[in-house]
Amino acid sequence: MENESQHTSAMPRDFTFQLLKQITNDFSEDNRIGVGGYGLVYKGTLDSGEVIAVKKLYYKHPGLDSDKQFQNECTNLMRVRHQNIVRLVGYCHEIRHKCVEHNGKYVFAMVEDRALCFEYLEGGSLDKHLSGT
């Protein structure tokens, strides 16, 4: 059946957070194209000219559950191929330490950057198409 999901072995690219910052103009408001329950979506243009949608996920405390959830999401998105679902082209999952002030002291905190990168489709989001706006 033509509309059924298909599995594919195409591997998404592992993008660095620095590259995603660069192609979205440091996640600027001008590049923001959407807001969702799990993060903000930005338009980015790779050096090759390919335009992608970068979903910068909201920060969650690092841990086994959030790591497993992110891995499951990536794995599921990699396998699904359907004409009505945008294709996952890449991801970013980086953990770094940053010096911050906390209760009057400087401490090193763990900062986790996660993003999912999808093919970019013109025309806005599905909810806009459904509501006719």
Question: For residue 31, is it within any domain?
Answer: yes
pLDDT tens digits, 52-95: 999 998 876 555 566 777 777 777 777 777 777 788 899 999 98
- Tell me how far apart the alpha carbons of residues 9 and 71 are, in angstroms, rounded to a whole number: 16
**Annotated binding-site residue? 98:** no
Question: For residue 88, is it within any domain?
Answer: yes
Structural domains counted in the chain = 1
- Domain holding 22, by residue range, is 13-131
Angle ∠(12,50,131) on CA atoms, nearest 5: 90
pLDDT tens digits, 25-62: 999 999 999 988 788 999 999 999 999 999 998 876 55
Q: Are 12 and 78 in contact (CB under 8 A)?
A: yes
Q: Which CATH number is 46's domain given?
A: 3.30.200.20
